[in-house]
Amino acid sequence: MAPAFTREQVVTIASLANLELKPEELDLFAKQLGDILAYAAEVQRIDTTGVPPTAAVVTRHVSDRADTIGPCLDRDLALANAPDGSEDAGMFRVPRVIG
Amino acid sequence: MRPLASDLTVRGIRESLRSRSRSAVDVCRDALARIGALDPSLRAFNTVAADRALARARDIDDHPDLWRDAPLAGVPIALKDNICTRGVRTTASSRILDTFVPPYDATVVDRLEAAGAVLVGKTNCDEFAMGSSNENSAYGPVHNPWALDRIPGGSSGGSAAAVAAGLVPLALGSDTGGSIRQPAALCGVVGLKPTYGRVSRYGLLAFGSSLDQIGPLTRTVADAALALGLMAGADAADATSAPEPVSDYTAALTGDIRGVRIGIPRALLEGVDPEVGRAVAAAFDVLASRGAVLVDVDLPHAKHAIAVYYLVATAEASSNLARYDGVRYGFRAPAAGSDGTLKTMYARTRAQGFGAEVKRRIMLGTYVLSAGYYDAYYLKAQQVRTLILRDYDRAFERVDVVAMPTSPTPPFKLGEKTDDPLQMYLSDIFTISANLGGVCGVSIPCGFTSAAKPLPIGLQIIGKPFGEETILKIAHAYEQTTEWHKRKPAFTA
């Protein structure tokens, strides 16, 4: 039996996912995520004894390239899209991290 | 309003340019005029790069010696708005990237422009390619050119609608669970998802990194083969791009499919819309009449593909989309900086920047990866993914390709499924397993519904890894025998 989602669980997941949800979103997501997981839980009924997981289907890789420095993104260009970039300092400005 | 070419194809445009009956600027102006006239009803474009396109077309006209033999010289193209274009806004149809102007081009953009393509704009899509109806766009839904009150499919709905309406003869999409093939089917055009690794993903905004592939949407199989040949091949910038040699896909279109073995997973086809079922059955008969051998195959785990997908793809998405946090690019929630901590800024930016479906998938992915649930959901889904892969391996021991509908239904009405995400997910039943298996697939027009406004139906052909030549050859042979691909939506005349 798949778990129904509680509002508290949704709050925990939202915090892990860095999403500030509104009260009405918490209720809606509790129901919708519960429905989706109840469906997805069908995988748990399949016998996978001894079956290895597949994370990716790449069989062969392009050979490693030489470990040399190539052209890279210009610093001003890298900062150009930042909502609060400091081109003089060459940094991204963010709110204080330590309370 | 002038059509881009009498048959609206890349080949048709190239012929008119080679014979000098028109210039690249003429063709570009016609494409822009069509977009100007039709796109207000379709909403297929997020951004039209008119000045850039005209400058590029002029450059091609001014240097005929340089461009005469380039396969796409002067051909207007559109790119799904999750493919990075240097200097042209790339939003993924998300508020969080509303102002993002990439400082580099995706590899596919480099390769198509080197072949002479003229980029006219960026197409609307579901936000971060998450959706099956194009209704999850921050800029509003795309409308189906065959019936404006219906969905074009998704997530590459803008690219499919743009090709179907004759705005461009070639558009690129990305396909994580069917996002090229399903809108191609619902808009009556050709859509190709290459084998995982066949086309570089460098510059594609990542959604599900083990599933995503870029591919073409066109009016003919020949145009899709041409575009694939230009884009395919290893790329030092994408470690998952494959070193396998690139075939001459155009040369593979011989029309001869005698003896080709086509597998039909009959058990999977139960429950499809009756009109879709009839059209696809008739398509199987056409393929048999050309000499193909129809064989029943069993894909016993394919019915679990949706469940596996929504565990695997959301897990990958929750990780990939963690980068959108209001620091390096895109939107930052106003005033978040002055009254809170970094964590509050992240959470508020993402809450305001992402739409509901993206939040839902990030939440689901975060949950299935979280401590205590990882084994029960994510690991288990990866094991079932192995079983789905083995189904295909086993089928491909007996047949060259597998054929089935692309979508279980014709395009539904806008708004019909937006309140029920799970019902929306179920519309991907026939496309998702090809992504989980990493194999290639193509959707081609195979009929229309009998409604007053006929709606397109698509046939899907799935091939072995790096079996693009075979699926394109079969699709082309079918296309030669039928007229479906020649129909044009009345609205675009």
Active site residue B21: no
Q: What confidence tens digit (pLDDT) does each residue in B182-240 have?
A: 999 999 999 999 999 999 999 999 999 999 999 999 999 999 999 999 999 999 899 99
Examine the pLDDT at B398 and tell me if it is beyond 80. yes
Q: How confident is the model at residue A62 (pLDDT cuts 50, 70, 90)?
A: low
Helix B356-369 / helix A7-16 crossing angle, nearest 10 deg? 90
| pLDDT for residue B147 | 97
Examine the pLDDT at B284 and tell me if it is beyond 90. yes
CB B207 within 8 A of CB B320: yes
Q: Among B461, B423, B424, which residue's Cα sits nearest to residue B442?
A: B461
- Distance (Å, whole) CA B377 – CA B426: 19
Residue corresponding to tokens 């079932």: B384
Cβ pair A44:B360 closer than 8 A: no
Give contacts of A82 with chain B, Cβ < 8 Å. Answer: 327-329
Q: What confidence tens digit (pLDDT) does each residue in B13-29 have?
A: 999 999 988 999 999 99
Q: Among B268, B149, B358, which residue's Cα sits nearest to residue A21?
A: B358
Compute the nearest-CA separation of B411 from chain A (Å): 23
Examine the pLDDT at B129 and tell me if it is beyond 90. yes
ipTM: 0.94
Compute the nearest-CA separation of A88 from chain B (Å): 16
Instruction: Establish how many alpha carbons lie within 13 A of residue B67's alpha carbon, considering only the half-sphere containing its beta carbon.
Output: 25
Tokens found for residue B275: 């009109």
Does the predicted model carry a pTM greater than 0.90?
yes
Neighbours of B200 (CB within 10 A): 26
Backbone angles phi, psi at B190, to 5 degrees: -90, 135
| pLDDT for residue B383 | 97
Q: How confident is the model at residue A67 (pLDDT cuts 50, 70, 90)?
A: confident
Q: Among B234, B238, B196, which residue's Cα sits nearest to residue B215?
A: B196
Q: Among B140, B115, B136, which residue's Cα sits nearest to residue B45?
A: B140
Examine the pLDDT at B302 and tell me if it is beyond 50. yes
Residues of B366-378 as b/e, b for ≥16 C-beta within 10 angstroms? bbbbbeeeeebbb
Q: What confidence tens digit (pLDDT) does each residue in B308-359 have?
A: 999 999 999 999 999 999 999 999 997 655 567 899 999 999 999 999 999 9
Closest chain B CA to residue A93: B327
